[in-house]
Structure 1
């Protein structure tokens, strides 16, 4: 079956289906410099939520978005076979109550993720058909360990370390992790070192690498961050609460489109901000081709490292700057393979795959309920992107299809459309989802991570203390920023 032209690996520079609303910075002219109660910087979900809440409260708002489209990491796109894919996040979780309420308010229908049938675990080239785990604390990848024919001693040793991690996570303060028991030692210890000190076998090392690179609250290699940060990510985004529980019929990106349409001309596109000046009466935001917005307050809802691209006057506190420099955006690309139907369902599988393959460490069913078209979602994560990104598009495609076929058989080599979203190559996103902190960053510099800067209030999913890296965290952070902002406007 022949791939469509668009199915050759695509980046995020031109996202079909992205919301194009509001005004262009090039057309601002006379309106530039108009005073508003709040300027919101960043048109992803968190910024949209903050702006929407402020408008509901009767505030005057301008939202500045650097790109030509709105939505940030919440963008959907139509694909072959009449389907819809999300080029950013897509799932809602069992305890994502704010996202669920928002979907009901916007009258967007949802459906449960497909987990009926068997999964697959691949270890060193051998494939095991397995039941899905009943308890995340006793799982290997997505699989029930009892169905994996590996030495019992090796599996139990890995699961013992797994449970030790989760016990540590129970002791972590989600708002002040540096105050947690044994925080200094945990933050000085990279995950890889912790494993070596416990003589972890290859299976355990892979399991920890899999959760480091794949959990929605962060993405990093085990040698890049500390046990404190990994345990914190388990505490703020508990894996046992099923973060991938449901999807939107029209794609999650529809949420951003609807809110953007509500805000209308309050949104200015192609408006990257490069300076914020504060004084006693408010602040001046300089964006685009030296245009300005005068405001009483600002909400900055962009990925944390990008905050340093803005010149602040007065400047940001040095410790806060140091923390941002130790908070890189993760290396993560998203893979979406589209098929005429969900053939794996007919074979008794649910497309939940995991294993130590060359490129794709996990897969998931992302189809509509009827399985037409069939859609498998996956990711290229961590340092795998380093070498993978240097290959030609055709070589990348071949490696992706090889791994998909290893999981789901020869039919997986014949998608009608293949999309790879290169998050790291989008200058206004910078990488995948979640919060990464380098080893030692929490205890040395973390105490100011929630501190606002005068009349500038931080938002964005990474700012949340509950489900950071997810849509739920984006909503929480946007609403929390508005609450703090209102104290200044009162």
Structure 2
């Protein structure tokens, strides 16, 4: 049985739109993810009239919590926050949302060449996979080289790096061929790549990867690859009690139902004199400024008059979404904890090659979340949920033993098939894109402004980056009034 009741359903009646209306506001905001809602928060705080137009029947964008029949909640979208993610941590505190540590006690599972071994998360050999010494040395050297390159990046303009063209014309795959020729070192980098980007190394520009690493920090904390991949001290360190989507739901409730229209996909943005006419299904908005708070490829589906600059349009044609899904198995209890396991996995085979324990803090039931990413997700986009469940169960049995055979329920989320997402967690940069087109990510066009986590200098691809982008466009607009 699939367990999937959107948590936001309870607030939809309070945020429901009244279609067939025409409004006039200072700013129309397209998209009710954290980037759009953050822009709305900043603008409304200084008295600007706003309306947020959201295509879905809920707020949150690529954050989606699902309520289980037992009263629990699991995150099928963004699920973790961590150190140096200042803006999302500040928002959680402002909304009085409590965080708790991601379960990280015991040993992780390494599945390699059909065999399972475990290794501790703490201690003198903590969080180091049990691979050969030569492979570990190669892994460490490659990681150090990437971090060193990241230190040289201007996070606001990676394309200004002296070797930007060379780095941007190199795939991450070809760089890894030279940096990690040993099979064990390479496999760990491959898993890290798909886990971070939901894309294969061959799809990514080396410049994009290095810039993404550089973004994993803040103005005082340099980004590192370790911060992207780690649980303790990294991007997966903490969770929010009751689910991550509360960030969006509570922020939307503060804005009020009159400022948010759901089920309102925007079709056209047209200049009319000194304002814009924004046309959504059943709603027409007139606004002095427009915020496009969407991923670039989806933003390209809107008709703009006058046309956007060619560089912006070319950019949106070249930034694909990653391919990602989550398969979450629900158990009566987190049995792997009794076996001394964290629930975290690194694997070289199967459809799930990384996994996490996303059970509630009190461990009152078990929830194993398996990431299905990149090539593995694309193979399953058109398969039945029953087939996905079977294949994920086989993986979980390999990783956690025969107790994994009997989940009491499932939640399957395929972001590739979501009409208003078409993948995730981020639109990534293939070779040649950053150096030629990336300045258009943030450059406004007349009264149209572009937000979204892809445009953030810090924590690109994360909730923190989404919030930063919304705050940036709000400042742009206020400076223009």
Which one of the candidate residues 357, 377, 392 is aligned to 2:349? 357
Asked if 1:231 is matched to 2:210, the reply is yes
Asked if 1:109 is matched to 2:93, the reply is no
Which one of the candidate residues 2, 6, 10 is aligned to 1:6? 2
Structure 1 equivalent of residue 219 of structure 2: none
Distance 1:393 1:268 in 2: 32
Distance 1:133 1:211 in 2: 20
Distance 2:166 2:313 in 1: 23
Distance 1:266 1:338 in 2: 37
Deviation string 1:366-418 (CA, Å, 9 cap, x unpaired) is: 12222111112221000112222343322211110111111111112221121
Structure 2 equivalent of residue 76 of structure 1: 65
Structure 2 equivalent of residue 176 of structure 1: 157
- Cα distance, 1:156 vs structure 2: 2.1
Structure 1, unaligned runs of 5 or more: none
| Residue aligned with 2:457, SS | coil
Rate the CA distance shift 1:284–1:390 in 2: closer, same or farther, 3 A.
closer
Which one of the candidate residues 402, 414, 417 is aligned to 1:425? 417
Asked if 1:330 is matched to 2:314, the reply is no
Which one of the candidate residues 86, 105, 120 is aligned to 1:97? 86
Distance 1:413 1:94 in 2: 36
Distance 2:193 2:43 in 1: 36
| Residue aligned with 1:404, SS | helix
Which one of the candidate residues 154, 159, 171 is aligned to 1:190? 171
- Cα distance, 1:86 vs structure 2: 1.4
Contact 1:219–1:435 at 8 Å: present in 2 too? no
Structure 2 equivalent of residue 156 of structure 1: 137
* TM-score w.r.t. length of structure 2: 0.92
Which one of the candidate residues 125, 128, 135 is aligned to 1:144? 128
- Cα distance, 1:447 vs structure 2: 2.8
Structure 1 equivalent of residue 434 of structure 2: 442
Distance 2:65 2:386 in 1: 24
Structure 1 equivalent of residue 192 of structure 2: 211
- Cα distance, 1:21 vs structure 2: 4.5
Structure 2 equivalent of residue 120 of structure 1: 109
- Cα distance, 1:24 vs structure 2: 5.3
Contact 1:171–1:181 at 8 Å: present in 2 too? no
Rate the CA distance shift 1:366–1:24 in 2: closer, same or farther, 3 A.
closer
Moved over 4 A (4+): 21-25
Distance 2:416 2:137 in 1: 37
Contact 2:8–2:249 at 8 Å: present in 1 too? no
Contact 1:172–1:181 at 8 Å: present in 2 too? no
Rate the CA distance shift 1:258–1:198 in 2: closer, same or farther, 3 A.
closer
Which one of the candidate residues 478, 482, 485 is aligned to 2:470? 478
Contact 2:441–2:450 at 8 Å: present in 1 too? no
Structure 2, unaligned runs of 5 or more: 217-222, 228-232
Deviation string 1:240-280 (CA, Å, 9 cap, x unpaired) is: 25111111111011222222222212211111111111245
Deviation string 1:149-191 (CA, Å, 9 cap, x unpaired) is: x432233223322322222222222111111132111111111
How many corresponding residue pairs?
A: 466
